[in-house]
Structure 1
Amino acid sequence: MDSTQVDPETFWDERYGESDAIWSGHVNVALADVVVERELEVGTALDLGCGEGADALWLAQHGWRTTGLDISVVAVQRAQAAAKAQGFSAAQARFEAADLMSWNSDQKFDLITASFLQSPVQFDRTQALHVAQDLVAPGGRLLVISHASFPPWAKDHHEDADHEAKHETTTPESELELLQLDERRWSVEIAELRSREITAPDGKLASLDDTVILARRTGWD
């Protein structure tokens, strides 16, 4: 069966169930760098596709009142456990298992982050990021970080008919085209590639590129 047709909630619950943790537990380097470099004023934050909670918890550690959203119940339970272990209250860091497309919130956020919201199963990423735009408060920011390259061993691991769907890379230009930010409502502050180092399965260091977009909401009209 084509994996792109698998129910996303089922896929991710099974994926997280494969091991006790599937991510490093460390904050996304580009996210941390942008928040620090831009000296973003602390406020409310929403992390989309929060996984096991590392990015949201880093923000909470730096004073943000964070909400993490993920379609996987398993991932959210791990994030909640991590928040409890670090001593955060629900007002400081809360996590919810939900599909952004059907998630209802009257709250607007000062920062919305979406890191590597690229899925090997069917997922309307364009629509999700457009929904996210409507949740940014006036003066708030949308931070989108996406894969501009993949490690060579990922290709070897996923050599199948839907390989391209699983490994769709981005550029600053393609991400801005996808976001379709209205210039009357948004100011693009960052649109660039950033490199980071990762460790390969054989222990060697490799360099990958990420696309980073930071946009500030200047108003509603």
Structure 2
Amino acid sequence: MTETSALRAADFWEARYRDGGRLWSGRPNALLVREAGELPPGTALDLGCGEGADAVWLASRGWRVTGVDISRTALERAARHATEAGVEERTAWERHVLGESFPEGSFDLVNVQYLQSPVALDRRRVLRQAADAVTAGGTLLIVMHAGWPSWQSEPPFEARFPTRSDVLDELALPQPQWTVQTLDTVRSASVSPDGVEGHRDDHVWRIRRADG
């Protein structure tokens, strides 16, 4: 990512949060709940945390969470959400332009939910940095849209959605140091802004790093 594209990405996401009001429901992503609900609490990194719903949910279950986003407005809302939920002491918030900078440290869980963008994003680099941030015995959880919703007859921009093998190829994780525990495509209900009912498919990768 060049300096110009990084600035464009920052401007795009800041404007989207600042000018559009609250974007998300405040509830954690369902596939995070499904895949991480039984994991023992530890340290977690939430990449592209947005308004903080996933981070707050994890913190409410005893995790110590670092939430990362490109938008200052999103991070301010995330911090307020944590305070309102009474988990501010178990959460920290950092602004990063992923692909240009990355948080320090290692984590028991690295959560990457829908790290997909209509503006520049070096996904391969970010995913590999995410894997590098997983501590021994820890988990890398990735969820991405597999395509447009069924009701989206005219996509708003051109996009290439990754396949399940695409992401594994980009990660290039050495065996047997890593074990794929979940490799799945999940269909869920999706309703358009105009109330048209349909569905959307998401890919899920849950990958565990070996102990020691």
**1:140-219 map, 5 Å:** 140-152=138-150, 154=152, 156=154, 158=156, 163-164=157-158, 167-218=159-210
In 2, Cα distance between equivalents of 1:207 and 1:154:
10
Q: What are the within-5 Å matches in structure 2 for residues 93-108 of structure 1?
A: 93-100=91-98, 101-105=100-104, 107-108=105-106
Which residue does 1:41 correspond to in 2?
A: 40
**Alignment partner for residue 118 of structure 1, among 106, 116, 119?**
116
Kindly state the Cα deviation for residue 99 of structure 1 after the two structures are TM-superposed.
Answer: 2.4
- Give the unaligned 5+ runs of structure 1: none
TM-score, length-scaled by structure 2:
0.90
Amino acid at match of 1:16: Y
**Mapped partners of 1:155, 1:125: distance in 2:** 26
Paired with 1:14 and 1:32, the residues of 2 have a C-alpha distance of 29
Distance 1:44 1:104 in 2: 13
Moved over 6 A (4+): none
Which whole-Å CA distance do the structure 2 matches of 1:157 and 1:208 have between them? 14
1:16-38 CA-partner distances (Å, limit 9, x unpaired): 112221112211111111113xx
Percent identical pairs in the alignment equals: 40
Normalised to the residue count of structure 1, the TM-score between the two structures is: 0.87
2:84, 2:146 → 1: CA distance?
A: 34
Cα distance in 1 for residues equivalent to 2:41 and 2:118: 33
Give, as a single letter, the amino acid of the residue that structure 2 aligns with 1:31: L
Determine the C-alpha separation between the residues in 2 that align with 1:192 and 1:49.
21
Tell me how far 1:61 sits from its aligned partner.
1.3
Number of residue-to-residue matches in the alignment: 207
1:156 deviates by 2.7
Q: In the aligned structure 1, how far is the partner of 2:147 from the partner of 2:188?
A: 11
Q: Secondary structure in 2 aligned to 1:169?
A: coil
Change in CA separation of 1:55 and 1:155 when aligned onto 2, cut-off 3 Å: farther
**How many Å apart are 1:103 and its aligned residue?**
2.8
Structure 2 unmatched ranges of 5 or more? none
Q: Distance in 1 between matches of 2:155 and 2:146?
A: 18
Read off the aligned partner of 1:120 and give its amino acid letter: P
Q: Is the 8 A contact 1:186 1:219 kept in 2?
A: no
Instruction: Please show how residues 60-99 of structure 1 align to structure 2 within 5 Å.
Output: 60-90=59-89, 92-99=90-97
Q: Is contact 1:68-1:95 (8 Å) kept?
A: yes
